[in-house]
Amino acid sequence: MLRWSIILLVVALIAGIFGFFNIVAAAVGIAKVLFYIFLVLFVVSLFMGRRGRSM
C-alpha cells in the first residue's frame, strides 16, 4: 500500500511538471488516502504484535 502511494505521488509530480492539474489533484488525493490507511494499519499491527499471543 505504501508502494502505491509513492507511485501515485510520482505520477502527481510528473503530471504537475507537464501541467495536468486535474490529474495532479486526483493522484495526490488518492496517495494521501492510501498513505493514511497504511499508517493506521501499521500502528494497529504494532499494537497487535506487541500484545503477544495469549492462547
37 in any annotated domain: yes
Tell me the C-alpha distance between 25 and 17, whole Å.
Answer: 13
Residue 11 banded pLDDT, cuts 50, 70, 90: confident
Report the number of distinct structural domains present in the chain. 1
Kindly tell me if the per-residue pLDDT of 1 is higher than 70: no
54 in any annotated domain: no
pTM above 0.75, yes or no: no
Cβ of 12: how many Cβ atoms within 10 Å?
Answer: 20
Q: What is the mean pLDDT of residues 2-29?
A: 80
The predicted-structure confidence for 26-48, as pLDDT tens digits, reads as follows: 888 888 888 898 889 888 888 88
38 in any annotated domain: yes
Residue from 4, 2, 54 nearest 27 by CA:
4
Q: Which domain holds residue 22?
A: 2-49
- Here the cell at position 51 is 500484545
Kindly tell me if the per-residue pLDDT of 5 is higher than 80: no
Torsion sign across C-alpha atoms 29, 34, 40, 42: negative
